[in-house]
Amino acid sequence: MASGNAIRGSRVGAGPMGEAERGESAPRTRISFWCANKHETRPSFAAEAVVPETWDCPRCGFPAGQDEHNPPAPSRNEPYKTHLAYVRERRSDADGEAILAEALAKLRGEI
């Protein structure tokens, strides 16, 4: 006994989709990019598109260039800094002691 669903296993829009429905595809060109780890990436671009100087490597994330023997250097990432590290860059220990003394004096009601 059938469940009553005549198009079981199909979904709306399923079916062959050829050039007649999509239209002509633009002419493409594949460009090779190499990163510092010697990974090759070959994205495709439209023939009339401007090709970028660098491309991010999908394997390691380093920047990749078109010159295999001279790839761009990886960018240097600064380590994470805490709020205290930024404060220490702006203030000396003597400044910190003065601010602490002032805050304690306010709490004690001396000011």
Token digits of residue 71 = 């790839």
Q: Backbone phi, then psi, for 29, in 5-degree steps? A: -135, 140
Coil vs helix vs strand at 103: helix
Neighbours of 63 (CB within 10 A): 17
39 is in an annotated binding site: yes
Q: Taken in order 46, 48, 52, 53, is the CA torsion positive or negative? A: positive
60 is in an annotated binding site: yes
Burial of 45 (0-12, 13-18, 19+ CB in 10 A): middle
41 is in an annotated binding site: no
Question: Which residues participate in the annotated binding site?
Answer: 35, 39, 57, 60
Annotated binding site for Zn(2+): 35, 39, 57, 60
